Amino acid sequence: MLDIERVRADFPILALTVGSKPLVYLDNAASSQMPNPVMERLLRYQRQEHANIHRAVHYLSETATAAYEAARCTVQQFIHAREAREVIFTSGTTESINLVMHGWGRKFINAGDEIIITVLEHHSNIVPWHMLCAEKGATLKVVPINDAGELQLDVYETLFSDRTRLVCLGHVSNALGSINPVKNMIATAHAHGVPVLLDGAQAAPHLHVDVQDLDCDFYAFSGHKLCGPTGIGVLYGRAELLEAMQPFKGGGDMIHTVTLEKSTYAPIPNKFEAGTPPIAAAIGLAAAIDYLQSLGMDAIAAHEHSLLQYATERLSAMPGVRLIGTAREKAAVLSFALQGIHPHDVGTLLNAEGVAVRTGHHCAQPLMQRLGVAATARASFAFYNTPAEVDALVAGIRSVQQVFA
C-alpha cells in the first residue's frame, strides 16, 4: 500500500492552484510530474558533476561518464535486459521507434514485405512505418479491435504471410488504456520467425516490464511519462539485432575510426548515440526509476488500478457520460465523451475547475476513425492521484453538463 499523502509531498507541483481551485492533475499519460528526489539529482549533477562524457580524462568528465553509464545499468535492471549495451538512450519513444525504422527497417525490409501494426497505435508507431513502406514499397497490415478496444487476436493470426518482416505493437493504448496481450502476440510472431517491437510509452510507467519474460525484440519508452525529464527515452534491443542494424545518426562518439574516405562504427550502444547525448536527462531518468522502484511497481499498479475502478464506477453511473474503451485489461486511462458537448469544451471547462485532462485525438487518428469519434476527453491517473481527485473530476463533469443544460 502506498502512503499517498507522503508520496504527494514529494511532488511540489501538485500543491498548485489553478485560478482559485486546487490543481487536479489527470494528464499523466501525456507527461507525469517530477518528484523532489529527481529534481535534486538533476541539481546535484549540474552543480557537481557536469561535463561532456566519454571524451576526456579529467575528473568531471569521468564523473559524468560514470553517472551516465550507471543510468544505463539502472534502465537495464528496470526492464530486466540481459546486458547494459542493449539499452540505447534516445530523446523519447518517438525517436526510439524511428531508430528501429531507419536502423533495422531500411536495412532489412524490401519491396513486397509486410509490417503488422494495430489500429490502436499512437502516430509514433504508425508514421515511421508509413515512411518506410513508401520508400521501400512494403505494406502495412493492421490488427483490428472490438468495440471495447481489445485487439482481435483471431484476425492477428491470419495477417502473417511469408512476407511478414516485423510486428509493431503498443503495449498499452494511450487513448483507451487497453493493455494488449503482447506476450502471446510475441509468441505468435516468433512462431512465424518475425521480430516484435513494443511501444511501451504507456506501459513502462505503470506495469512491471520484463523484456526477457516478454521475449520482445525491441522495447521503446519515454522518461517524461515516468516522472523523469523530457528529452530522454530508451530503446531496448536484443544485442544481435542492434549489432546487425545500421546507425541512424552519424557523428561524434559513435565511430571506431574515420578517414576522409570512410567511417567505421563503434560497438553498441555507442553506435546509436551520435553526438553529445542528453546526459543530465539520462541521469534524471535513472533517479526517476529509483524513485518508482522505492515505491514498488506492484504497489503503483495496484493503486492505479483501484483508482481506475473507482473512476470507472463513478463515471459509468453519470447520465450523459459515455466511456470510450472498456477493455477487460486496462491501465489507468479513462477516455470519455459527454453527450452533446465537444471534447474541447469539456477540457476548457474542466480546466476552469482546476482539473487537467487531455482532449483531442491523442495522436491516434486511425483509432478515433475506427471508434467513429473525432476526439475524446481523457483522464489519465498516476500513483499520486487520489479518490478525492476522481470526485473532483466527477464534480467538474457535472458542472460542465450544467453549463450546457
DSSP secondary structure, 251-309, as one string = STTSEEEE-SS-EEEPPTTGGG--SS--HHHHHHHHHHHHHHHHH-HHHHHHHHHHHHH
With binding defined as CB under 6 A, does residue 201 bind ligand C6P?
A: yes
| Binding test (CB under 6 A) with ligand C6P, winner from 358, 367, 379, 400 | 358
- Binding marks (x or -) toward ligand C6P, 33..72, rule CB under 6 A? ----------------------------------------
Handedness of CA 129, 135, 136, 139 (dihedral sign): positive
Smallest distance, ligand C6P to C-beta of residue 356, A: 12
Is 227 a known active-site residue? no
The stretch among 89-97, 306-314, 321-329, 365-373 that binds ligand C6P (CB under 6 A) is 89-97
- How many chain residues touch ligand C6P (CB under 6 A)? 16
The stretch among 37-45, 252-260, 293-301, 356-364 that binds ligand C6P (CB under 6 A) is 356-364
Is 46 within 8 Å of 68 (Cβ atoms)?
A: no
Distance (Å, whole) CA 206 – CA 202:
7
| Binding test (CB under 6 A) with ligand C6P, winner from 98, 124, 335, 376 | 124
116: three-class secondary structure by DSSP: strand
With binding defined as CB under 6 A, does residue 330 bind ligand C6P?
A: no
Label residue 16 exposed, middle or buried (CB < 10 Å: 0-12, 13-18, 19+). Answer: exposed
Please give the backbone phi and psi of residue 38, each rounded to the nearest 5 degrees, phi first. -75, -45
Nearer to ligand C6P, 31 or 263 (CB): 31
Nearer to ligand C6P, 174 or 312 (CB): 174
109: three-class secondary structure by DSSP: coil
Smallest distance, ligand C6P to C-beta of residue 59, A: 34
Nearer to ligand C6P, 64 or 231 (CB): 231
Identify residues 139-178 at the interface with ligand C6P (CB under 6 A). 170, 174
Smallest distance, ligand C6P to C-beta of residue 307, A: 18
Please give the backbone phi and psi of residue 236, each rounded to the nearest 5 degrees, phi first. -90, 140
> Which of 282, 304, 299, 171 lies closest to 228, judged by CA?
282
The stretch among 17-25, 183-191, 195-203, 381-389 that binds ligand C6P (CB under 6 A) is 195-203
Distance (Å, whole) CA 349 – CA 325:
23
Nearer to ligand C6P, 30 or 301 (CB): 30
Residue with the three cell numbers 485487439: 151
Nearer to ligand C6P, 186 or 234 (CB): 234
With binding defined as CB under 6 A, does residue 180 bind ligand C6P?
A: no
The active-site residue out of 73, 133, 168, 363 is 363
Distance (Å, whole) CA 353 – CA 19:
8
Is 283 within 8 Å of 298 (Cβ atoms)?
A: no
Nearer to ligand C6P, 64 or 143 (CB): 143
With binding defined as CB under 6 A, does residue 222 bind ligand C6P?
A: yes
| Binding test (CB under 6 A) with ligand C6P, winner from 150, 199, 273, 389 | 199
Distance (Å, whole) CA 324 – CA 311:
13
Identify residues 16-35 at the interface with ligand C6P (CB under 6 A). 29-30
The stretch among 3-11, 70-78, 257-265, 355-363 that binds ligand C6P (CB under 6 A) is 355-363
Smallest distance, ligand C6P to C-beta of residue 360, A: 9
Nine-digit cell string for 369: 476513425
Distance (Å, whole) CA 183 – CA 203:
13
With binding defined as CB under 6 A, does residue 74 bind ligand C6P?
A: no
**Residue 242 vs residues 32, 105, 152, 191, 354: alpha-carbon distances, Å:** 30, 12, 31, 21, 45
Distance (Å, whole) CA 302 – CA 2:
9
Smallest distance, ligand C6P to C-beta of residue 15, A: 23
Distance (Å, whole) CA 206 – CA 305:
10
Smallest distance, ligand C6P to C-beta of residue 128, A: 11
| Binding test (CB under 6 A) with ligand C6P, winner from 72, 165, 238, 362 | 362
The binding site for ligand C6P (CB under 6 A) comprises 29-30, 92-94, 122, 124, 170, 174, 199, 201-202, 222, 358, 362-363
Catalytic residues, by residue number, are 363
